[in-house]
Amino acid sequence: MIDYYTGVLKNYAGFEGRARRAEYWQFVLGNVIVAVVLAILGALIKFPYLVILYYLAILVPTLAVGVRRLHDTSKSGWWLLIALVPFVGGIILLVFTCLDSTPGDNQYGPNPKGVGGGYPGSYAGNPTGQGQSY
């Protein structure tokens, strides 16, 4: 999880390319853990704004990984704005971020899962995974 979290922070403002589900959700999990720790720490030192400062600091990387995650599902990064629609916007965005990658390359770049779009049994010599017995 640390590798995904630091990887997103290193690619601070990288809005191009694609992000796998694992990268996106591990980053979200890392943010939740850090926010809980900072909330507890903020309560102990009587500075409740610690979490707000943290979220402001990671706003750009969070937007960037969200855009890359949407790119992985062949959607424009502008779909992030659907979260602003009351009630259903967040649900729609949640569904989009849970979708599997678009197989193979798309207009946003190569599939981060590798050759063949991550089909079970796929590898360089058999990119579609066809003919495999499971």
Q: What mean pLDDT is predicted for residues 10-14? A: 89
User: Tokens in use for 73?
Assistant: 């599902």
Mean pLDDT over 1-13 rounds to 88
In the predicted structure, residue 117 carries a pLDDT above the cut 80: no
Tell me the C-alpha distance between 69 and 57, whole Å. Answer: 20
Q: What is the distance between the alpha carbons of residues 96 and 68, in angstroms, rounded to a whole number?
A: 12
Helix, strand, or coil (residue 106): strand
Residues 28-49: what's their mean pLDDT? 95
Domain boundary assignment for the chain = 2-116
